[in-house]
Amino acid sequence: MPKESFAKNRLKSIGFAFKGLFLLIRTEASIKIQFFIALLMTALGFYLEISITEWCIQCLAIGMVMAVEGMNTGIEKLCDFVQPNYDKKIGFIKDVSAGAVMAVSLMAGIVGLLIYVPKFF
């Protein structure tokens, strides 16, 4: 079987990535909430006409939350596949992974406060 071209291989990879993103949004409750918050913050950004720098920082914060949540979901699914029964070590892995989501979400919240609170005072 002939080797696929680089461009064709990249297009397939992008397709798989979009499939994963849509699966994540469609199946995970926590990402649905975070996606809704991201839409609200985006709408608020347009309404309050935040600066290009603020847009960059806000987009990075949103992207980080979504990406880390995706990684957390992947880790949890892998853990459940490897060990479907309760296991202390798996519980630790899942807790640490969830903690990473919490850390980046708290920082994104602080970014939001730093951007938007001054607009109201």
| For the chain, domain boundaries | 29-120
Predicted TM-score of the model (pTM):
0.86
Confidence of residue 85 (pLDDT cuts 50, 70, 90): very high
A 10 A CB-CB count for 52 gives: 7
Q: Please report the pLDDT score of residue 3 as a whole number.
A: 81
Q: Please report the pLDDT score of residue 18 as a whole number.
A: 94
Rounded Cα–Cα distance for residues 62 and 66 (Å): 6
Rounded Cα–Cα distance for residues 66 and 42 (Å): 14
- End-to-end Cα spacing for the chain: 65
pLDDT tens-place string over residues 34-77: 999 999 999 999 999 999 999 999 999 999 999 999 999 999 99
Per-residue pLDDT averaged across 14-29, rounded?
Answer: 93
Q: What CATH code is assigned to 29-120?
A: 1.10.287.3610
